[in-house]
Structure 1
Amino acid sequence: MNVKILKFTTAISIALLLSACLRVEVATPDKPININMNVKIEHEIQIKADRQVEELLKENSDLFGEVNPK
């Protein structure tokens, strides 16, 4: 008799728990999502050259513009 009461109580408990669950719905938005990003990229390129190459660039500065060795 206790087994019947336990089964009945379990069934009622499960039914109550399932009926109390909230419905969750995932829907797509009507309008597309716009993401505006302002990105600023700065970079520097530094070239290290040995002294012979620096002298060569100084002699032919009209090819590459002004050379300022550090």
Structure 2
Amino acid sequence: MRVATISGLIAALPGCVNITAPDKPIQINLNINVTQEVVYRLDNEAKSLIQQNPRIF
């Protein structure tokens, strides 16, 4: 009896599966912001040298 019930259920299922591709291409938006911060420290001798020679840079 179980075999007849299972075969009846299988027969009721559709035999074909349709898969369709989307009409438009898939877009992936990556908003990436890269920020780099450079921190430097000058020792006192370098600071005084720069102040004495402002045209050095």
TM range, smaller chain: 0.5 to 0.7
**Runs of 4+ in structure 1 over 4 Å off:** 30-35, 39-44
What's the counterpart of residue 43 of structure 2?
50
Q: Displacement of 1:46 after TM fit?
A: 3.0
Q: Displacement of 1:33 after TM fit?
A: 4.5
**Percentage identity across paired residues of the two chains:** 20
1:25 pairs, out of 14, 19, 44, with: 19
Q: Displacement of 1:57 after TM fit?
A: 1.6
Alignment root-mean-square deviation, CA: 3.6
Aligned length in residues: 56
Q: Aligned pair 1:10/2:6, yes or no?
A: yes
Q: 1:63 to 1:29 in 2, by over 3 A?
A: farther
User: What are the Cα deviations for residues 7-65 of structure 1, in whole angstroms up to 9, with x where unaligned?
Assistant: 1111111222x3288x4524153568585x6x77665533211111111221222122x
Larger RCO, structure (CA 8 Å, separation 6 or more): 1
- Scaled by the length of structure 2, the TM-score of the pair is 0.53
Matching residue's letter, 1:63: I
Structure 2 alignment gaps of length 5 or more: none
